[in-house]
């Protein structure tokens, strides 16, 4: 592990010498992730991308990709595009990336079960803004807005999310 890795600890998410408060999935940590279990998967996950809402925030890093009104993420194991970013209209189950709330204004995408997803092994594990302190996620890791933006300005494309 390096200082450029995000490391989940019992006290929070460690990055660049700081420990930041965070929330994990309502299902706790798991080594056997399944779609819909609400758990955060253990392992060392590479960052696969950074997404942001250009109508709400400035580009946080040169490699960040803007999210538009038709951008979705497939979370349907029956979808040939399971666990990939897709565009509306999309006939399979999905999650809108451009939400009315601020949770996905800035998203770090991990390579969990990506890019060649195994059906049912769980879709996207993101780092995103939390609803409120301590509120669990559907399996992602959530942080306060200011901490997520601080990370986004410093993170490198080769950084990893390490969940032991």
Could you give all domains of the chain from N- to C-terminal order, each with its CATH number?
Answer: 6-163 (2.40.440)
pLDDT of residue 54: 98
Q: How far apart are CA 4 and CA 100, in angstroms?
A: 31
Confidence of residue 1 (pLDDT cuts 50, 70, 90): confident
pLDDT of residue 27: 98
Counting DSSP H helices and E strands in the chain, the numbers are 1, 14
Residues with Cβ within 8 Å of 157's Cβ and at least 6 positions away in sequence, in order, are: 47, 63
Give me the mean pLDDT over the 106-131 stretch.
96
pLDDT of residue 86: 98
Give me the mean pLDDT over the 144-155 stretch.
97
Query: If you search the block for the tokens 């299902």, which residue do you land on?
Result: 27
Per-residue pLDDT for 13 more than 90? yes
Handedness of CA 66, 67, 71, 72 (dihedral sign): positive
* Mean pLDDT rounded to a whole number for the chain: 96
């Amino acid at each position: 592990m390096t200082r450029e890795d995000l490391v989940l600890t019992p006290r929070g998410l460690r990055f660049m010498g700081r420990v930041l408060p965070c929330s994990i999935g309502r299902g706790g940590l798991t080594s056997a992730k399944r779609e819909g279990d609400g758990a955060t998967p253990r392992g060392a996950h590479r960052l696969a991308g950074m997404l942001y809402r250009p109508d709400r925030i400035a580009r946080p890093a040169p490699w960040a990709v803007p999210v538009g009104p038709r951008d979705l993420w497939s979370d349907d194991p029956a979808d040939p595009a399971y666990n990939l970013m897709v565009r509306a209209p999309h006939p399979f189950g999905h999650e809108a990336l451009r939400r009315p709330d601020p949770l996905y204004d800035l998203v770090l995408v991990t390579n969990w079960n990506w890019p060649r997803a195994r059906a049912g092994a769980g879709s996207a594990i993101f780092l995103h803004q939390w609803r409120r302190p301590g509120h669990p996620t559907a399996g992602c890791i959530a942080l306060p807005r200011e901490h997520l933006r601080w990370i986004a300005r410093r993170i490198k494309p080769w950084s990893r999310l390490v969940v032991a």
